[in-house]
Amino acid sequence: MSTPDAVPVSLAEIARIAGVGRAAVSNWRRRHDSFPSRIGGTDVSPQFSLSEVEQWLRENGKLEDVGGRELLWPRFEALGSRDDSGLAIAEAARRMRNPRARSRDKELSAQARDVVGEAARLGRAEGAKETFEFLLQRWLDTHVRQLSTTPPALASLMARIALDARIGHEPDSLTVFDPACGTGHLSAAATKAHDGTGLALLACEQDAALAALASARLGFATEGRDVRTEIVTADALRDDPYAGLRADIALCNPPFNERDWGYEQLATDQRWTHGLPPRTEPELAWVQHLLAHLRPGGTAVVVLPPAVASRKAGRRIRGSLLRTGVLRAVVALPPGCAQPHSVSLQLWVLRAAGEGASAAPVGQDALLVDATRFARPGAREPGPDWDALTSFVLRAVSELDHPDAELPEGAVRVSLLDLLDDEVDVTPGRYTSAGAETTGAELAASWGELTEALGELTQLAQVLSKLGLTEGEARTTATVGDLVKAGALTLRAGQQPAETMGPPQGGAVPLLTVPDLLMDGVPSGSVPADAEHTVAEDGDVVVAGVVRAFRAWVHEGAPVALGPQLYALRVAPEKLDAHFLAGCLRAPANGRQAGTHASSSSRVDIRRLQVLQLPLEEQAAYAETFRQLASFERLLTEAQGLGSGLVGDVSDRLATGGLAG
C-alpha cells in the first residue's frame, strides 16, 4: 500500500498499526538507528511519515498479523476537516457495496478520491461492512467532542419501547421516522428490533456528512432485506421534508439547548397543537414535531435533558400533553447512558391519540420510572448496567396500558390530578422517592450494617488508642525531591489531556481530576487509551497537590489517568514501602508546610513533602498503623452515611404515625 509522505502519524498510531503497546514503539525508536526520523510535532508528541513508518515496519517484520485498516485510517484523518473525511468514508462505503455505482468523485478532492478508491478495494478484500464500521468508529472517536451520538444499547432500548407501546398497527409493516438521525444509530436499532417485512426507514439530518454516513450505515444494516430507506439533508424544524408523513414509530435524540431553532419563523406553524414552544424550550418543539408525524396510535420515544420535565417555561405544554393522554411515560436514566454523560437524561414515551371506535380512552395517569439506580460509579465496565436497566425499563413500560398491574420498584403511576399542579413537574424521582417507603426488613438490615461498622470502629479505636507515641525529639526526614534524586522513587505529574471523553468506553482509561476528589472520588471522565497521559498503576502512591483536596493514598486496581495537580509516585520496593510513604505524605501538617500560599486553592509543592527516614524493615510497622488509620477514617465515613440514612428513614416513618403502641 503506497501512501504519500505528507500523512503524519504519532507514536500511538504507530502502535495501533503494528498491534503493540506504545512503549514497544518507543523502544524501537531508541534501539534502531534506522527508525524513521521525526517530521513534525514536538519532542513529547512527535510525528512521523506514514509511508516511511510502513516501510520500516515491513522491513523489520512488524506487520505480519496486521490488516490494512490501521494503515488506511491515518490517510482519512489527513484529509483535514471533519466533513471531508466523513463524506469520503461514506463514499468509500457506497463503492464497497456497489463497485459499479455511478461515481460521485466530483464532490471530493483528488486526495480524497485516492483514499476512497483504496478503501473500497480494501473493503472488498477484507470485508466491506467490517471496514466501514472500523472507519466510522474511528471517525466518531476522533470527533467525539463535536458530535452527540446515541449509544447502541440506548438506541436498542428506545426501539424496543416504541415497538411494544404502539397500538392498532399491522404486524408486518413498519414505518420508522427520525428527524435528527445523526449517523443513523436509532434507525439501525429499529432495523434489528423489527424482523417483519415492509419496513420503511425515513430520516432527516441537517449535517450533510452525518446524513451521508447514516445512509451508508443503513445500507449495510438492511442488506439482503426489502427495506425502503430515505435520508434527506434538511433542517427538520424549519424546512420539514416529510410534512405529510404519518409513521408507526418515531425515534429521536434531538440537539439540546439550541436557542436558534426557528422560533420567529415558526410562530404560526400548525405542528404546535399543544402550544407555541417558548424560545428557551426547543426540545418541546421537537416533541410536537414528532407527534405531528405519527399515525393515530403511533408511538414516539425521545431523549431529553432532565430540565425539560420541570422548567417553568414549558409547564403549559407539559400540561396539555398530559391532559390529552399523549405523554404516557417518563423514564429517568442513570448518568452515563449518552452525552452529556454527567447528566441523568430522560426518555419520554409519547403516543398519538387514536381515532374511531377502537381508539383507546385518554389515560388518567402517567407512568413515571426512575432507573437512576442502575448507574455503576467506579465500575470497571463503562456506563450503566445495561442488562439490568433494559430489563427493568421494559418490564415497567410493558404495563403502560394495564392500570391494575403491579409495577416494579422504582416505577409509579401518578394521576393527572397530582401532576397538573402549578409546576406540572414530571420528574420521576419526585414521585418514586416519595412513594417508596423503607420496609421493616430494610430498616433492620441498615441497623445491622451500622452496628457492624460501629463494632469495627470500636475495635480499631481500642487498638489505635494503645499506640505508644513518643514525645521526644523528631526523627530525621527527607523530602520527596531528595528521595527522587536518591532513586528511591519516581515522580510523575498529571496533565490536562488534549482530548477528554465521558465515562470510559471500550479501551478508554478513566481520568481522575481534583474536582472528582472534591465530589465523590470517582473518575467522571476518560481519555483514549493511546493518548499522551500520566497513568497511576496498581501500587503507585497518588498525591493531590491542592490544599483544599490534599491527600495521598496507594492506588489499587486498574490503571487510571491523572489530571492536573495529581501526582503518581512509584517506589523502589527495596528502599520504600508504598503504604509507609502514603501515610507520611498525607499527614495534614506535611501538606500545610509544603503549601505555596495560605488560600485553600493554593498548590502543594510535592517535592517539599517530608518523609520519615527509616530502614525498610522498620517501615512495615508504620505502614500497618497507617493502614489501620485509613480503615478507621473509612469506617467513620461509612457509619456517618448509614446513620444519617437511618435518621431520615425512621423520621419519615414516625412522621406518618409509624410508632407501634
Single-letter amino acid, residue 641: G
For residue 367 the three cell numbers come to 407512568
For residue 364 the three cell numbers come to 388518567
pLDDT average, residue stretch 538-544? 91
Measured distance CA(145)–CA(502) in Å, rounded:
10
Q: How far is CA 250 from the centre of its chain?
A: 24
Q: Is the peptide bond before 361 cis (omega within 30 degrees of 0)?
A: no
pLDDT average, residue stretch 646-657? 81
Measured distance CA(197)–CA(245) in Å, rounded:
19
- pLDDT value at 20 more than 70: yes
- CA distances to 350, 412, 469 from 313, rounded to whole Å, are 20, 25, 64
If you search the block for the grid coordinates 392498532, which residue do you land on? 168
Split at pLDDT 50, 70, 90, the class of 646 is confident
What phi and psi, each to the nearest 5 degrees, are found at residue 592?
Answer: -65, -45
The number of CA neighbours under 13 Å toward the Cβ of 475 is: 12
**What is the structure's pLDDT at 598?**
45
The number of CA neighbours under 13 Å toward the Cβ of 173 is: 7
> SS in 3 state form for 124-177?
HHHCHHHHHHHHHHHHHHHCCCCCCCCCHHHHHHHHHHHHHHCCCCCCCCEEEE
Split at pLDDT 50, 70, 90, the class of 103 is low
**What is the structure's pLDDT at 286?**
97
Q: pLDDT: is 29 or 381 the higher one? A: 29
Question: Over the range 459-481, which residues count as b (16 or more CB within 10 Å of their CB) and which as e?
Answer: ebeeeeeeeeeeeeeeeeeebbe
Split at pLDDT 50, 70, 90, the class of 169 is low
Which residues make Cβ contacts (< 8 Å) with residue 376, sequence separation at least 6?
A: 336, 383, 384, 385
For residue 590 the three cell numbers come to 506535611
Single-letter amino acid, residue 588: P
If you search the block for the grid coordinates 374511531, which residue do you land on? 356
Question: Over the range 83-114, which residues count as b (16 or more CB within 10 Å of their CB) and which as e?
Answer: ebbbbbbbbbbbbbbeeeeeeeeeebeebbbb
Split at pLDDT 50, 70, 90, the class of 23 is confident
**What is the structure's pLDDT at 580?**
93
What phi and psi, each to the nearest 5 degrees, are found at residue 176?
Answer: -110, 135
- pLDDT value at 310 more than 90: yes
Q: pLDDT: is 37 or 301 the higher one? A: 301
**What is the structure's pLDDT at 67?**
57
**What is the structure's pLDDT at 4?**
44
Q: From 123, 122, 103, select the one nearest 113 (Cα to Cα).
A: 103
**What is the structure's pLDDT at 435?**
45
Measured distance CA(652)–CA(647) in Å, rounded:
9
**What is the structure's pLDDT at 517?**
80
**What is the structure's pLDDT at 176?**
96
Measured distance CA(215)–CA(232) in Å, rounded:
10
What phi and psi, each to the nearest 5 degrees, are found at residue 347?
Answer: -105, 125
pLDDT average, residue stretch 341-365? 78
- pLDDT value at 427 more than 60: yes
**What is the structure's pLDDT at 293?**
96
- pLDDT value at 436 more than 60: no
What DSSP designation does 345 have?
-
Average pLDDT, the chain: 85
**Per DSSP, which regions of 465-558 are E strands?**
477-479, 489-493, 509-512, 525-527, 535-536, 541-544, 551-554
pLDDT average, residue stretch 404-432? 91
Measured distance CA(624)–CA(313) in Å, rounded:
58
The number of CA neighbours under 13 Å toward the Cβ of 409 is: 7
Going by their DSSP bridges, the two strands 551-554 and 411-415 should be labelled as unpaired
Considering only 201-215, 498-512, 619-633, which range has the smallest mean pLDDT?
A: 498-512
* Tens of pLDDT, residues 254-298: 998 888 899 999 999 999 999 999 999 999 999 999 999 999 989
pLDDT average, residue stretch 630-642? 86
**What is the structure's pLDDT at 500?**
63
Q: How far is CA 44 from the centre of its chain?
A: 29
- pLDDT value at 253 more than 70: yes
**What is the structure's pLDDT at 325?**
92
- CA distances to 322, 326, 406 from 431, rounded to whole Å, are 16, 20, 16
Split at pLDDT 50, 70, 90, the class of 514 is confident
